[in-house]
Structure 1
Amino acid sequence: MDAHLIDRIRGARRVAVLTGAGISTASGIPDYRGPEGVWTRTPSAMNAFTLKNFRADPGVRREFWRTYAGHAAWRAEPNAAHRALADLDGAGVAVRVLTQNVDGLHQRAGLAARKVLELHGTMHTTRCTGCRQRFPTPEVLARVQAGDDDPACERCGGILKLDVVLFGQTLDGEVLGHARNIAAASGLFVAIGSSLQVEPAASLCSVAVQAGATLVIVNRDPTPYDDDADFVLRQDIEAVVPQLCAAIRGS
């Protein structure tokens, strides 16, 4: 690893980490926009991730639920990158993870839930779009697997939707405001495995830079924020994130 990078990040005490789908691919969860990504291989699959289509078309909902009933994330385990970030927090560094992922792997790796801000929601709960009642997703998927391919709310009959942010749906203002405050307070901001194409989450990089933070981007492909970064790493995420965390600790 570059000596200048090590010197720059050694001893950082307030670290904000933005994570995208790329951090979970080593756990067996496919990304969306990569060469083998879900939407690259099946562009029509994006239809099921659009709120307007999801609400209007039972066929889209059936495809969505079929996709998530067999989703790899239910079987996935945290990988070395997830564990390294949790270990960094355990070593006494103030780590806050702002994740675009909905898989819950940061928490399973050992980070306290209060230190993980799920910008795009979570796949582990499901909410009624009508009465707003929330249900554990495994309970809903059990209904899907039993043959109810477009499950309705058992309380009011409304449309059920995973607690995730779909295209056409705005991020929770309180969550986004909290994320911006974390980015602005960080001394080191690391974006890992994100294409940085989805706003407003990607703009957290700019918030951090404008506040004076060092910006490190770890991603296989170029991003729109590479020119703003102090360091851009194209290395394997599962290998390089533990090295970054060790450098921050000074070990």
Structure 2
Amino acid sequence: MTKKKIVVLTGAGMSAESGLKTFRDSNGLWEGHDVMEVASPQGFAKNPELVLHFYNQRRRQLLEVSPNAGHHALVDLEQHFDVHIVTQNVDNLHEQAGSSNVVHLHGELFKVRSTVDEGHVLEWKKDLVLGNLDKNGHQLRPHIVWFGEMVPMLEIAAQITQQAEILIIVGTSMQVYPAASLVHYAPRTTPIFFVDPKPSVRSSDFEKITIIEKTAANGVPELVEHLFREFQP
């Protein structure tokens, strides 16, 4: 029997309980920096050392944390469903937990790429500094989609979401574009489950939506149990 296809869209709230800080503070600054200083091509051109230091700190932090119960519950979901995860997060906690199909919209902290050849991507878990070069002598940069850059995985993510028979949204407001557009690719009749302690949507916003006002670590395991009961013979 063909497994029902579940698509999961995750954001910063998915990883918060693993101890990963969300980059942006309430005042809009990222770790005390203007976002354009540390997350734009212009910022990198102006002060590459600052940008590399910023992401080195993020990378070191990621080495110290582990997946939470929400990540592990999504792995359990694969027992009975065809699960595809589309995440705005640049951490690898979904993969650490054991999820099989993960698309990263905004890049990955544990990868770097050439500043000249976008296709030259390397696995990287140590600090990245000026003088770390690709095979052709070009400086390496974080494999992160910065503000003002194209989101190369968006089209693939849209194709995945179009096939959703169940859509789960965890830890993201779905109000920041282009990622926010993905929910509109799901078929209109697809049931949506929205997990967030402070949901940014209302039940009237979509035809079939269930809002779970809980954190990822609490709400996702609860939802997975529900789906096992609801959709399994």
- Identify the residue that residue 137 of structure 1 maps to in structure 2: 124
- Structure whose residues are more often helix by fraction: 1
C-alpha deviation, 1:18, in angstroms: 0.2
Q: Shift of residue 46 of structure 1?
A: 5.0
Aligned-residue identity in percent: 28
3-state SS of 2:65 partner: coil
Q: Distance in 2 between matches of 1:179 and 1:226?
A: 24
How far does residue 50 in structure 1 lie from its aligned partner after superposition?
1.5
Task: State the one-letter code of the partner of 1:126.
Answer: V
Amino acid paired to 1:220: P
1:23 alignment partner in structure 2: 14
**1:200-219 per-position Cα deviation (integer Å, ceiling 9, x unaligned):** 111111221x5421122212
Separation in 2, partners of 1:66, 1:110: 25
Instruction: Give distance in 2, aligned partners of 1:38 and 1:213.
Output: 34
Q: Which of 196-205 and 14-23 deviates more?
A: 196-205
Which residue of the partner structure matches residue 174 of structure 2? 196
The separation in 1 between residues aligned to 2:22 and 2:57, in whole angstroms, is 14
1:124 aligned partner: 110
Which AA in structure 1 matches 2:68?
Answer: N
TM-score (normalizing by structure 1): 0.79
Say which SS state the counterpart of residue 125 (structure 1) adopts.
strand
* C-alpha spacing 1:150/1:224, structure 2 compared with 1 (3 Å): farther
TM-score (normalised: structure 2): 0.84
Alpha-carbon shift at residue 157 of structure 1 (Å): 3.7
Q: Is the 8 A contact 2:36 2:43 kept in 1?
A: no
Supply the distance in 2 between the matched residues of 1:181 and 1:65 (Cα, whole angstroms).
30
**Could you tell me which of 41, 47, 54 is aligned with 2:37?**
47
**Which amino acid in structure 2 is aligned with residue 237 of structure 1?**
A
**Deviation, structure 1 residue 122:** 1.1
The correspondence for 1:221, drawn from 195, 198, 201, is 198
- Structure 2 residue matching 1:18: 3-state secondary structure: strand
**RMSD across aligned C-alpha pairs, in angstroms?**
2.6
Over 3 Å counting, the alpha-carbon distance change for 1:38 and 1:241 in structure 2 is farther
* Structure 2 counterpart of 1:116, one-letter code: V
Structure 1 residues 39 and 234, CA gap change in structure 2 (3 angstroms): farther
Cα separation, partners in 2 of 1:154 and 1:121, compared to 1, 3 Å: closer
